[in-house]
Amino acid sequence: MGSKKSNSNKIINLFKSILPSPFSIAILLSIVTLLLALLLTKPTEISHLSYLTNLVGSWENGLWDNSGGGLYFAFQMMLILVLGHILALTPIVDRLIKLLLKYCTTTESSALVVSLGSISLGLINWGLGLIFGAIIARKVGEKFAQENKKLNYGLVGAAAYSTMMVWHAGLSGSATTKAMEPGHLREMMNKAGMQGDFPNTVPFEDTIGSSLNILIIIACLVLIPSILFLVAKKSKDIAVPEFKDSFAHSLTSETEEIKGAEKIDYSKYFGSGLGILLLIYGIYKAIHYSGASSLGFIQLNFINFVFLGLSLALHRSINNFSKALQIAIEDVSGILIQFPFYFGILAIMQSSGLIVIFSNAITHIANTHTLPFFTFISAGFVNMFIPSGGGQWAVQGPIILETTQQLGSDLSKTILAMAYGDQWTNMLQPFWALPLLGITKLKPGQLLPYSFIVFLIGFVIFGIGLLW
């Protein structure tokens, strides 16, 4: 028994010793990408110094990319995360968390409840799933601290983070929702200078709503919580969690002395009324949508619009919404500064052709049947350098589409394969864990030994699904 506990602690200490902060990882990846591009893609007619200068220039331009796949997309992603967090702080979600906490009596039951809850909500919206999971994991930690009970807190944190290995198969997936937009595929291929007969759109029913994706989602919902439950049962609880302060937030205020125009901020009717009006418009837009697919309206801006309406309606007042907004913004500050660095990495990989080398190295050994699987592997590798699903789709998407056409492979399945690969290695890439780490106060080294187990589960589920 003692040796098992010792081995578990050794693994966690190893991860702690070799992993710097996520921001340091972003900087190191920038340097590694720069060196790889310099070594693998330098034209013979240009000096190393000149080419290095060109690459640094590409990196600088990438930092402030104002295209649809750059800062505009970053702002979309920040809004999804912030609005998901605001929604997670609403009274109705708070009541749900308190209800679920009743069943979190051991590390095993906590891992099961947290993973099921975060994955389920992550399929609706990745920001909501991530923040909900982080908050309930923190609440579990506080509960055990108050009861002076030992808990494997890192494992519970990994259970919450497991939502990021399923999100791209859900309603807010970047590649799948972008592929639904009429004309997007042809526009993307024309921009990349690639010719071919590409469809105008790939409908919801062929990707997110396909039987393959539904079966894979069910497998994730069953296997991830079950295996984490068994891991928790076999592992030893490490320690009683310690917190300097409680995560509890009071969003309500006394309004007796509020006078004048400030009453608008505290009015239940104004805030909730505005939210309801936005939701009504959203429903109207959904009903009257005339795109190529029945659910083609589910795109990033529509999701943000609906979450804005829901957040206002459920917080009821502008004051409560604004308080939740301040809390949400604090916990995404790390992502805000890191997004430009990954756009810089993306620019280096694009301008040098490094992304083509990475993708082709794997997809060139594929055939019609195995292309989706090898696309999954290559997407997982590229995600380590470009953790943004939308950013990765913008760069790797044209290569995938062209290869799919050349081999006559299943386009919808290959798009899903890229989505699976992108989400799969999130379990090793701590970029999207930043909000969770901020809320739970866990360190990457505490989280990653257990998220690595989820990574292995994902390889089996996605691999079998794509090769079937």
More confident: 115 or 363? 115
How many percent of the chain have pLDDT more than 90? 30
Closest listed residue to residue 117, CA positions, set 170, 162, 154: 162
Task: Kindly tell me if the per-residue pLDDT of 66 is higher than 90.
Answer: no
pLDDT of residue 18: 59
Q: How confident is the model at residue 362 (pLDDT cuts 50, 70, 90)?
A: low
Closest listed residue to residue 389, CA positions, set 209, 178, 207: 178
Task: Kindly tell me if the per-residue pLDDT of 201 is higher than 50.
Answer: yes
Tokens in use for 203?
């409908």
Residues 159-184: tens digit of each pLDDT = 999 999 999 999 878 888 888 888 88
Task: Kindly tell me if the per-residue pLDDT of 465 is higher than 90.
Answer: yes
What SS3 string covers the chain?
CHHHHHHHHHHHHHHHHHCCCHHHHHHHHHHHHHHHHHHHHCCCCCCHHHHHHHHHHHHHHHHCCCCCCCHHHHHHHHHHHHHHHHHHCCHHHHHHHHHHHCCCCCHHHHHHHHHHHHHHHHHHCHHHHHHHHHHHHHHHHHHHHHCCCCECHHHHHHHHHHHHHCHHHCCCCHHHHHHHCCCHHHHHHHHCCCCCCCCCCCCHHHCCCCHHHHHHHHHHHHHHHHHHHHHHHHCCCCECCCCCCCCCCCCCCCCCCCCHHHHHHHCHHHHHHHHHHHHHHHHHHHHCCCCCCCCCCCCHHHHHHHHHHHHHHHHCCHHHHHHHHHHHHHCCHHHHHHHHHHHHHHHHHHHHCHHHHHHHHHHCCCCCCCHHHHHHHHHHHHHCCCCCHHHHHHHHHHHHHHHHHHHCCCHHHHHHHHHHHHHHHHHCCHHHHHHHHHHHCCCHHHHHHHHHHHHHHHHHHHHHHHHC
pLDDT of residue 220: 97
Angle between helices 153-161 and 444-467 (to 10 degrees): 40
For the chain, the structural domain boundaries read 2-38+46-248+330-467
Residues 3-30: tens digit of each pLDDT = 445 555 555 555 555 567 777 888 888 8
Q: How confident is the model at residue 293 (pLDDT cuts 50, 70, 90)?
A: very low
pLDDT of residue 1: 46
Residues 240-272: tens digit of each pLDDT = 888 776 665 656 555 556 666 777 777 777 888
Closest listed residue to residue 130, CA positions, set 400, 248, 138: 138
pLDDT of residue 397: 85
Residues 92-121: tens digit of each pLDDT = 888 888 899 999 999 999 999 999 999 998
Q: How many CB atoms lie within 10 A of CB 398?
A: 23
More confident: 366 or 299? 366
Task: Kindly tell me if the per-residue pLDDT of 413 is higher than 60.
Answer: yes
Task: Kindly tell me if the per-residue pLDDT of 288 is higher than 60.
Answer: yes
Mean pLDDT is highest, among 8-22, 130-144, 325-339, 382-396, for 130-144
**In angstroms, rounded to a whole number, what is the distance separating the alpha carbons of residues 265 and 260?**
10
Mean pLDDT of 191-218: 85
More confident: 356 or 130? 130
Q: Supply the mean pLDDT for the chain.
A: 83
Of the listed ranges 227-231, 380-384, 409-413, the one predicted with least confidence: 380-384
Residues 219-243: tens digit of each pLDDT = 999 999 999 999 999 887 788 888 7
Mean pLDDT of 393-420: 88
Closest listed residue to residue 104, CA positions, set 229, 8, 210: 229
More confident: 327 or 36? 36
Task: Kindly tell me if the per-residue pLDDT of 70 is higher than 80.
Answer: no
Closest listed residue to residue 185, CA positions, set 400, 20, 21, 465: 400
Task: Kindly tell me if the per-residue pLDDT of 463 is higher than 90.
Answer: yes
Residue 180 contacts residue 201 (beta carbons within 8 Å): yes
pTM (global) more than 0.95: no
How many percent of the chain have pLDDT more than 70? 86
Residues 294-353: tens digit of each pLDDT = 555 666 677 788 888 888 888 888 888 888 888 888 767 777 777 788 788 878 887 888
Mean pLDDT is highest, among 13-17, 65-69, 279-283, 292-296, for 279-283
